[in-house]
Amino acid sequence: MTKYSAYLKHIDTLIAAIIGYIVIHIFTSYSGVGISPDSIMYASTANSIQAHGSLITFNGSPLTFFPVFYPFFLGVIQFFTRVNAFIAGSVINSCLFASVIFVTAWMMERFITHARIYKILILTAIILSPALIEIYSFLWSETLFILEVMLFILAYHHYMRLHTTFSLLMVVIITAVACITRYAGITMVGAGGLMLLLDDQLTIRRKIKHILILSFGSISLLVGNLFLNSLNTGLSTGKRLPSITSFSENLHYAGTVFCDWASFNQSSDKYATAFAALILIALIAVLGWKAFTGRINSYENIVIAFTLVYGLFIILLATFSRFERLNSRLLSPMFIPLLISCTSWVPDVLVMMKKKLKYVLAGVALLLMLAFDYSTLQVDLDRYDDELDYGVPGYSDDSWNTSPFVDFLRSHKNIFKPGVPVVSNADEAVYFFTGMSSSLVPHRYFKKDVDKFYERKHYYYIWFKTLDNVELINIHDIEKEHKLKHLYDLKDGAIFEYNGEVVK
């Protein structure tokens, strides 16, 4: 009976994981998993790995902008199932989301103060989170990386209990894989190193030894990945531009994401910078206080350390390197850690309260969490109404499935003469809809690439009218230099041919 009772104790964990699986399955049921340009990069590389064992993307170039493990993960699944990642993506993401919920619940069972109602409320918030539902509705590497974050926290807590080299190596393995899933995996090295520095159960000599093992072991696969990239293309992480946003701007953008996660009204965005700063300062203060009072070795503190390091890393990275504006996707790996960091103290405080006050404060906390869950549920229902009718936004939704230009491209692939290069303002869309290889028109900031493009004597240009990117040279720029022959023109796209005639 005792054995069965132990299993029944975790039945809520299993139920939550199953519900998480169903939620993602529902949101991706209409037209499959969401497909973005990044998704096509991952899936095409997975095809290449599965078919040829090579890291070649859809446009024929080696994968450098992203690390290798997520495409490898998809390629392995594709090898055994013989199902393309575009088709299998819905099931893969549903399983990953269920795994994240299961691991998180397992971890919360072992908090300093375990409260079942707290665990259920947090799991509900995770399942209903619009931020996580968005992530797990797309074929993105964050889906795997978030699971690796939670496994890192489990492994690091195991190490903190034993402080053995073997338990540290388990942390190293998870972190090393995370670093080649997303380059931001380096934050796990930072979080682990920070916890080691604060650990008062290690001698100085042993602490230095373990920091060196963690640091060099964790970045080993990443160094190999970057070296391979340099050999293949001369660039370790692809072409990247310096940032055009300041630290204060990025702190503000991060704050708007935090406000959105907290279900605050849009008017709260004017306080976003202060909100983000307050969160980061509070995390530093709490972690510092726990270290000072000798209470550093707990799940909650590992969670806080990762949240702090990841948040600061992304904000600083956006300050020095240029990529899309800080948004929910980029910050999503810290959603669950931030949620736990901001709430895990509540059960600890309630335990210390007198009975009457405890029940009053517990009731207030319960009402706040229920209000939070209700507001996120409303967002989810609105999203579901849209996606039930049109599909997940991206290349798999109905705006593309019913596109006249896409239908034309699919049925007229023979109009392109063999040997003549094809360029486009959305080369990933060309591949996804037709299977054809093409190259992207150059970024206007890379002058050498632009000049090289204008030296071409013959090419086809596929123009998706709805996908013009201000960072790329556009049709109007090209027409100032090259006399394009208009072959076909539809409502949402056009095809041109250039035969070497320049504009005089």
Question: What confidence tens digit (pLDDT) does each residue in 184-210 have?
Answer: 999 999 999 999 999 989 999 999 999
Look at residue 1 in the predicted model and tell me its pLDDT: 45
Q: What is the dihedral of CA 281, 286, 288, 290, to 10 degrees?
A: 180
Of 294 and 54, more confident: 54
Give the list of residues 6+ apart from residue 78 with CB closer than 8 angstroms, or none.
46, 47, 50, 84, 85, 88
Q: What is the pLDDT of residue 124?
A: 94
pLDDT: which is higher, 342 or 365:
342
User: In the predicted model, is pLDDT for residue 497 greater than 90?
Assistant: yes
Determine the average pLDDT of the residues in 74-98: 95
Burial status of residue 15 (CB atoms within 10 A of its CB: 0-12, 13-18, 19 or more): middle
Strands 459-464 and 422-424: parallel
CA dihedral 145, 150, 152, 157 (to 10 degrees): 170
Give the pairing type, strands 439-440 and 493-498: unpaired
pLDDT score of 469 more than 90: no
Would you tell me the crossing angle of helices 186-198 and 272-292 to the nearest 10 degrees? 40
Q: What is the pLDDT of residue 504?
A: 64
Integer-rounded Cα radius of gyration of the chain: 25
Lowest mean pLDDT segment, chosen from 125-139, 205-219, 284-298: 284-298
Could you give the count of Cα atoms lying within 13 Å of 96 in the half-sphere of its Cβ? 27
Res 166: pLDDT: 96
If one compares 241 and 417, the residue with the highest pLDDT of the two is: 417
Largest CA-CA distance found in the chain, in angstroms, rounded: 89
Among 190, 300, 276, residue whose Cα is nearest residue 291: 300
Assess whether pLDDT exceeds 70 at residue 44: yes
Compare 6 and 409 and report the one with higher pLDDT.
409
Angle between helices 37-52 and 427-434 (to 10 degrees): 60
Among 248, 156, 223, which Cα is nearest to 193's?
156
Inter-residue contact 97 to 292 (CB < 8 Å) = no
What's the pLDDT score for residue 291? 87
Asked whether the beta carbons of 193 and 215 are under 8 A apart, the reply is yes
Per-residue pLDDT band for 9 (boundaries 50, 70, 90) equals low
Residue of 276, 258, 312, 261 lying closest to 126 (CA atoms) = 261
pLDDT of residue 111: 82
d(CA 490, CA 404): 7
Confidence band for 322, pLDDT divided at 50, 70 and 90: confident
Domain ranges of the chain: 2-390, 403-498
Enter the tokens of residue 282.
Answer: 């509070």
Dihedral angle sign, alpha carbons of residues 96, 100, 101, 102: positive
Closest by Cα among 154, 144, 162, 159 to 107: 154
Nearest to 36 by CA among 98, 100, 97, 89: 89
Structure tokens at 267: 């008017």
Q: Is the pLDDT of residue 2 over 80?
A: no
- The confidence score (pLDDT) of residue 3 equals 55
- Residues comprising the chain, all counted: 504
Q: How confident is the model over 472-501, as a mean pLDDT?
A: 92
Alpha carbon distance 171, 157 (integer Å)? 9
Any idea what DSSP says for residue 445? T
Does position 161 have pLDDT exceeding 80, yes or no?
A: yes
CA gap 350, 362 in Å, rounded: 7
Question: To the nearest whole percent, how much of the chain has pLDDT over 90?
Answer: 68
Residue 8 confidence (pLDDT): 63
246 Cα distance to chain centroid: 22
> What's the first-to-final CA gap in the chain, in angstroms?
89
pLDDT band at 503 (very low <50, low <70, confident <90, very high): confident
Three-state SS across 351-403? HHCCHHHHHHHHHHHHHHHHHHHHHHHHHHHHHHHHHHHHCCCCCCCHHHHCC
Residue 501 has pLDDT above 60, yes or no: yes
User: pLDDT tens for residues 387-425?
Assistant: 888 889 999 999 898 999 999 999 998 899 999 999 999
Q: Which letter does DSSP use for residue 444 in this model?
A: T
Distance CA 27, CA 392 (A): 8
The residue with tokens 């504009």 is 503
Q: HSE (CB half, 13 Å, CA atoms) of 418?
A: 0
Cα distance between residue 467 and residue 119, in whole Å: 43
Question: What three-state secondary structure class fits 500?
Answer: coil
Check the CA dihedral 335-338-344-346 and report its sign: negative
Token duo for residue 184? 């931001």
Which is it for the CA torsion 242, 261, 269, 379, positive or negative?
positive
Average pLDDT of 25-41?
A: 93
Q: Which two tokens stand for residue 69?
A: 């493990």
- Could you tell me which of 124, 81, 1 has the C-alpha nearest to residue 371? 124
Tokens 């939670």 sit at which residue? 150
User: Average pLDDT, stretch 148-174?
Assistant: 96
Alpha-carbon distances, residue 362 vs 105, 125, 128, 271, 348 (angstroms): 21, 17, 22, 28, 11
Joined together, the tokens standing for residue 181 give 């899933």
Tokens of 430: 């060309």
Q: Which residue has the higher pLDDT, 25 or 234?
A: 25
